[in-house]
Amino acid sequence: MEKKKVTVPLVCHGHSRPVVDLFYSPITPDGFFLISASKDSSPMLRNGETGDWIGTFEGHKGAIWSSCLDTKALRAASASADFSAKLWDALTGDELHSFEHKHIVRACAFSDDTHFLLTGGIEKILRIFDLNRLDEQPRQVDNSPGSIRTVAWLHSDQMILSSCTDTNGVRLWDLRSGKIVQTLETKSPVTSAEVSQDGRYITTADGSTVKFWDANHFGLVKSYDMPCNVESASLEPKHGNKFIAGGEDMWVHVFDFHTGEELGCNKGHHGPVHCVRFSPGGGSFASGSEDGTIRIWQTSPVTHDESDLLGSEPSGKVKAVADEVARKIESGLHIGGEGKTGDTDKATDA
CATH number at residue 70: 2.130.10.10
Q: Answer whether 48's CB lies under 8 Å from 7's CB.
A: no
Residue range 86-132, pLDDT digits in tens: 999 999 999 999 999 999 999 999 999 999 999 999 999 999 999 99
Backbone angles phi, psi at 316, to 5 degrees: -60, -35
In-domain check, residue 86: yes
pLDDT of residue 161: 98
Domain count, the chain: 1
The verdict on residue 94 lying in a domain is yes
In the prediction, which pLDDT does 300 show? 76
Which DSSP category does 198 fall into?
Answer: T
* Cα dist from 279 to 92, 108, 296, 350, whole Å: 23, 19, 9, 23
Containing 245, the helix (H) or strand (E) segment is: strand 242-247
Residue 91 structural domain = 10-298
Q: Is residue 314 included in any domain, yes or no? A: no
Supply the DSSP string of 2-44, one letter for each residue.
Answer: PPPEEE--EEE---SS-EEEEEEPPPBTTB-EEEEEETTS--E
Task: Give domain status of residue 308, yes or no.
Answer: no
pLDDT at 190 over 50: yes
Residue range 285-310: mean pLDDT, rounded:
76
Q: What integer pLDDT is reported at residue 7 of this predicted model?
A: 77
Q: What predicted TM-score, i.e. pTM, was given to this entire model?
A: 0.86
| Predicted confidence (pLDDT) per residue in 3-38, tens digit | 455 678 999 999 999 999 999 999 999 999 999 999
Residue 305 falls inside a structural domain: no
Q: Is the pLDDT of residue 346 over 80?
A: no
Looking at the predicted structure, is the pLDDT value of residue 64 above 50?
yes
264: in domain: yes
Residue 5: predicted pLDDT: 58
- Mean pLDDT across the stretch 321-330? 43
Q: With a cut of 80, say whether residue 204 has pLDDT above it.
A: yes
